[in-house]
Amino acid sequence: MGWLIFVAGAILSWGAYGVLLGQGQTQLGNPLKALLCVGMAYFLIGVIVPVIGLGAQGNLSNFNTTGLITATIAGALGAAGAACIIYSFRFGGLPLYVMPLVFGGAPIVNVLVSMAINPPKDAINPFLYVGFLLASVGAGLVLYYRPGH
């Protein structure tokens, strides 16, 4: 169950991400400056740390092509998501609205993509659709009952 510590870390990190990114973009006055800062942080954490760790393990070679391509596409999707959030702020979206929509919709997309890549062997439980509905309703409730409404 140690993995739950890292889940909590992701929740805390991504939960604060949108608010701080929105503030940073406003303070910098340009969405591309904010995206550059995000890219630098990705580079520091996503490139330097693994290079040091893999180098220390003597494991900095022998990447297989399929894994390399898949993981790079995943990284590009993460960066594209960051760019989309930045531009949603640039075009008038507020973190208070944007992030609940993103975090309400992302789990639904995650399940659909997972099912497309690894089709279920059994019939889909109807409660999956209830979960989709509840995730959507949950995001709507967060937006409707947000502070200051």
In this structure, the number of other CB atoms found within 10 A of the CB of residue 80 comes to 10
Measure the CA–CA gap between 43 and 47, rounded to whole angstroms: 5
Distance CA 76, CA 80 (A): 6
Query: How far apart are alpha carbons 27 and 70 in whole angstroms?
Result: 35
Name the residue type at position 49. Answer: V
Residues 6 or more apart whose Cβ sits within 8 Å of residue 78: 42
Q: What is the pLDDT along the chain (149 residues), one digit of tens a residue?
A: 899 999 899 989 988 999 999 999 999 999 999 999 999 999 999 999 999 999 999 999 999 999 999 999 999 999 999 999 999 999 999 888 899 889 989 999 999 999 999 999 999 999 999 999 999 999 889 888 887 76
